[in-house]
Amino acid sequence: MGACALAPKSRNFIMTHAYRSHKCGDLRAQHAGSETRLSGWVHRVRDHGGVLFLDVRDHYGLTQVVADPASPAFKIAETLRSEWVVRIDGKVRVRLAGTENKDMPTGDIEVYATEIEVLSQAAELPLPVFGDTEYPEDIRLKYRFLDLRRDRIHANIMKRGSIINSLRRRMVDQGFFEFQTPILTASSPEGARDYLVPSRVHPGKFYALPQAPQQFKQLIMMSGFDRYFQIAPCFRDEDARADRSPGEFYQLDIEMSFVTQEDVFNAVEPVLRGVFEEFGNGLPVTQKFPHIAFKDSVRWYGTDKPDLRNPIKMQNVTEHFAGSGFKVFAGMIANDPKVEVWAIPAETGGSRAFCDRMNAWAQQQGQPGLGYIMYREEDTQLVGAGPIAKNIGPERTEAIRAHFNLHQNDAIFFVAGQPSKIYKFAGEARTKIGQDTNRIEQNCFKFCWIVDFPMYEWNEEDKKIDFSHNPFSMPQGGLDALNNQDPLTINAYQYDIVCNGVELSSGAIRNHRPEVMKKAFELAGYSEEVLLEKFGGMYRAFQFGAPPHGGIAPGVDRIVMLLCNEPNIREVVLFPMNQQAEDLLMSAPSSATPKQLRELHIRLNLPEN
């Protein structure tokens, strides 16, 4: 470190700084014999009566300080407690032979204290900094400043910062430019619930915090800029999940002009791959992200965010069951042309115990059960066992085996029904089978693009067509498709990046043609008036020469979660809110004063109790 290389050995220089000549991670054997001044927190005290050890910690590291009765600092040293803040003057010396600590970078030396000044005392700790015990969330959040002193989360937050720096550098290196978009803006009628901010100047009117800078980044393209990015705060008033902060989160927001979908992929893929290679502790990262159509992803993996570390790929095996002796499936297929049978191969799952366990699990999930065939060797022949194999007969059993190239002691499970009703359960079964047969690859980052999302979906509740994702996406086939195709069959130039089953980002090539946009909204039941009223600024901009453009927005918090190997987003956020969207440290949200409310022309109408 620079400081240690520059620090001269003269005592005079050391005393020119009030708090430190070195940081707590600086000192090495080469410094032995020199004077030093350290400041930091008392991490741990080991008092042997005649000799006393203090581990002194700062942001940079830990140094062992020693005092004995011969030292003038001894009396004060004996009074020190955990997390007090101290300034230590002393002499660096090599530790006695055999007492070095190989686990500490500074473990070859210690500082013999000659003077100790207590800079701050600490009350009894509600949350110990030392050690790696788990603590309840509310205490950690209330005393976040103590929690953040702890190793793991301190390192996570630093890693987060480094990752964001790296993302910025990689974007800038590719010719992107960072823009700032407004925080106080207009409510957008689609999507998540908005956070509203009352206007003092305009009684009864409200700003909204942006759910994402979506419209702004498109307007930046229409304003003649190109290659926008921003580490953008986004605000959504929706409930939390382990991987979803309530209230606010950050996106690497990106938009580019004159691009096709491939151009966006080529810009973003190296950034993510690079950052995962840089910060992923050397774990292998997918080199070329495969493209998987939304439709295929659902059929193969039962989800639009597949975990490709799980090698299991489902297949449609309806033909093997149509007209077969397994009457349950055969009957379903005969009665409803939409019914399909999906098969989930389970290598090494061919034991009665495993299949029964899966079946019981399925019933616990509210399913009638989970049919299966087990393959076993009998008289050098591979045969199928279990009720289904008996019912469909050896020929079909063998055809299914051959289709999946199954071997002895493998099994295969079946789910039947309309795809839209079974895909979710089938996906869960795939995950469970992968986990329970130990087939999920560990220690790697498996990426893919999910492409060709449907433009619309059927809203069963309101009996109408809805935008399935982003209403600003360009439909594949353009106006022609909107005019002539069944809307539910139209795909959009809309895509997601998925890593290890985590949806990292979604993006789209935008709809930049006003007539296409008008038609697209019309199909979802919105008139031009609504379009003008809700998206007036952007719709107007489309009338004055909008470039073709598109973008994407990877979620920064989730990237950091994956790279820190943390299952909970609060472990990678400095000052997170709890699940009820409360900041227990700052006590937010809190009541407003009557004066504040009066200025804002707000009268409260609180619920009972």
- Interface residues with RNA (CB under 7 A)? 44, 46-51, 53, 55, 64, 66, 68-70, 81-82, 95-96, 98-101, 103-104, 107, 110, 124-128, 131, 133-139, 141, 188, 190-193, 211-212, 214, 236, 238-244, 466-472, 568, 570, 578-580, 582, 584
**Cβ atoms 151, 41 nearer than 8 A:** no
Instruction: State which residue, 18 or 51, has the beta carbon closest to RNA.
Output: 51
Nearest residue to 570 (alpha-carbon basis) of 242, 279, 280, 250: 242
Amino acid at 348: T
**Cβ atoms 558, 504 nearer than 8 A:** yes
Compute the residue count for the chain: 609
Task: Give me the phi and psi of 417, to 5 degrees please.
Answer: 150, -175
State both tokens at 376: 């076993």
Nearest residue to 235 (alpha-carbon basis) of 198, 189, 184: 184
Instruction: State which residue, 190 or 263, has the beta carbon closest to RNA.
Output: 190
Concatenate the DSSP letters of all residues of 159-224 into one string: HHHHHHHHHHHHHHHTT-EE----SSB---SSSSPPPEEE-SSSTT-EEE--SSSHHHHHHHHHTT
**Strand-pair partners of 414:** 343, 371
Residue bearing tokens 């979803």: 244
Burial class, 428, CB count within 10 angstroms (exposed 0-12 / middle 13-18 / buried 19+)? middle
Instruction: State which residue, 324 or 505, has the beta carbon closest to RNA.
Output: 505
Rg of the chain, C-alpha, whole Å: 31
State both tokens at 43: 């991490």
| Maximum pairwise Cα distance, the chain | 95
Instruction: State which residue, 42 or 385, has the beta carbon closest to RNA.
Output: 42
Residue 83 CA to residue 311 CA, distance in Å, equals 49
Q: How far is the CB of 98 from RNA (least distance, A)?
A: 7
Query: DSSP 3-state assignment of 37?
Result: strand
Instruction: State which residue, 12 or 133, has the beta carbon closest to RNA.
Output: 133
Q: How far is the CB of 152 from RNA (least distance, A)?
A: 15
State both tokens at 401: 């085996």
Residue 77 CA to residue 97 CA, distance in Å, equals 24
Q: How far is the CB of 394 from RNA (least distance, A)?
A: 41
Instruction: State which residue, 366 or 594, has the beta carbon closest to RNA.
Output: 366
Instruction: State which residue, 66 or 385, has the beta carbon closest to RNA.
Output: 66
Q: How far is the CB of 106 from RNA (least distance, A)?
A: 9
Residue bearing tokens 């699940």: 579
**Long-range contacts: 454-463, Cβ < 8 Å, 24+?**
454/294, 454/488, 454/489, 454/490, 454/491, 454/492, 455/487, 455/490, 455/491, 455/492, 455/494, 455/520, 456/487, 456/488, 456/490, 456/523, 456/524, 457/488, 458/488
Instruction: State which residue, 143 or 225, has the beta carbon closest to RNA.
Output: 143
Query: DSSP 3-state assignment of 497?
Result: strand
